[in-house]
């Protein structure tokens, strides 16, 4: 029975996870910015990332399966190797340079990008495929360093396609791969031998399913303009969150 999480932890987790994965279903990223701070109040931080990796993988797999025909495989075949290379580089950089200034820089960049697109004349022109190199590598670097590089890929995909379902499906496929790699690493490291982590992830699954369903319903009613504004608002949240994490280091 010790493996069962206390009811008060579930009371904190359920609404936070539901809201987080509603946003994730709409935007294709952002769950960690809500769930991680909430769950960190109720459990050790060492448990939060392994739990969220399992829940993220489930949410991304659901999104990817539901929209599998919308995945931009022509983008994915380049983004995946770039993500892997960037992640390896990010882990290496994490070991040799201070993370704090890079987090401040990333947070400021994302904030400026989001504010510009929210208040300036919206850009509708597509960017060239060559831009996949910096965005793909940078997304991998920040995934490796900070475990949150998904919004970099969204910034790229938003300027490559006008179809919001293509953005969500392709992002879901990328996150599925990224979280799967993390799960494999945690498994070999013996993290999931702690039954409490597995039980808590299972307990969060209903909230994730509810949030994903609600987000899907909301997205169906969204125009592209509203969808993009929702993405930019989430980018603002992401930028503030990254700067806050850097400030707390």
83 vs 142: CA distance, rounded Å? 10
Question: Rounded mean pLDDT of 43-66?
Answer: 76
**Per-residue confidence (pLDDT) for residue 3, from 0 to 100:** 56
Residue of 122 and 65 predicted with greater confidence: 65
Kindly report the average pLDDT of the chain as a whole number: 78
Instruction: Tell whether the model's pLDDT for residue 173 goes beyond 50.
Output: yes
**Per-residue confidence (pLDDT) for residue 1, from 0 to 100:** 47
Instruction: Tell whether the model's pLDDT for residue 176 goes beyond 90.
Output: no
Question: Rounded mean pLDDT of 135-146?
Answer: 81
CB of 158 within 8 A of CB of 228?
yes
**Per-residue confidence (pLDDT) for residue 135, from 0 to 100:** 92
Q: Which of 13-17, 61-65, 189-193 has the lowest mean pLDDT?
A: 61-65
Instruction: Tell whether the model's pLDDT for residue 245 goes beyond 80.
Output: no
Question: Rounded mean pLDDT of 105-114?
Answer: 76
- Phi/psi of residue 86, nearest 5 degrees: -65, -40
- Tell me which range, 48-52, 194-198, 239-243, is most confidently predicted by mean pLDDT: 194-198
Local confidence band at 113 (pLDDT 50, 70, 90 cut-offs): confident
**Per-residue confidence (pLDDT) for residue 131, from 0 to 100:** 92
**Per-residue confidence (pLDDT) for residue 134, from 0 to 100:** 92
CB of 114 within 8 A of CB of 236?
yes
Q: Residue 180 corresponds to which tokens in the numbers above?
A: 């799967």
Residue of 45 and 116 predicted with greater confidence: 116
**Per-residue confidence (pLDDT) for residue 236, from 0 to 100:** 83
> Per this entry, what is the length of the chain?
249
Residue of 235 and 76 predicted with greater confidence: 76
Question: Rounded mean pLDDT of 222-248?
Answer: 76
**Per-residue confidence (pLDDT) for residue 233, from 0 to 100:** 82
Give the alpha-carbon dihedral of 150, 235, 157, 219, to 10 degrees: 100
- DSSP string of 117-164, one letter each residue: HHHSPPP-PPPPGGGHHHHHHHHHHHHHHHS--HHHHHHHHHTT-S-H
Let me know if 93 is exposed, middle or buried by CB neighbors in 10 A (0-12, 13-18, 19+): middle
Percent of the residues in the chain that have a pLDDT greater than 90, as a whole number: 5
41 vs 130: CA distance, rounded Å? 42
């Amino acid at each position: 029975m010790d493996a069962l999480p206390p009811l008060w932890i579930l009371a904190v987790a359920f609404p936070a996870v539901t809201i987080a994965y509603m946003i994730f279903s709409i935007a294709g990223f952002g769950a960690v910015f809500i769930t991680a701070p909430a769950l960190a109040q109720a459990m050790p931080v060492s448990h939060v990332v392994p739990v969220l990796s399992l829940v993220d993988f489930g949410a991304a797999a659901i999104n990817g399966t539901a929209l599998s025909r919308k995945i931009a495989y022509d983008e994915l075949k380049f983004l995946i190797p770039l993500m892997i290379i960037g992640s390896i580089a990010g882990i290496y950089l994490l070991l040799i340079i201070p993370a704090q200034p890079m987090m401040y820089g990333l947070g400021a960049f994302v904030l400026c990008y989001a504010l510009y697109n929210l208040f300036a004349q919206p850009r509708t022109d597509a960017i060239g495929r060559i831009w996949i190199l910096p965005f793909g590598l940078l997304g991998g670097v920040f995934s490796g360093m900070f475990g949150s590089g998904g919004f970099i890929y969204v910034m790229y995909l938003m300027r490559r396609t006008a179809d919001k379902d293509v953005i969500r499906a392709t992002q879901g496929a990328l996150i599925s791969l990224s979280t799967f790699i993390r799960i494999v690493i945690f498994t070999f490291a013996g993290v999931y031998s702690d039954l409490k982590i597995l039980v808590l992830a299972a307990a969060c699954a209903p909230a994730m399913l509810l949030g994903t369903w609600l987000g899907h319903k909301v997205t169906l009613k969204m125009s592209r303009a509203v969808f993009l504004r929702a993405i930019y608002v989430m980018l603002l949240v992401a930028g503030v969150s990254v700067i806050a994490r850097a400030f707390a280091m």
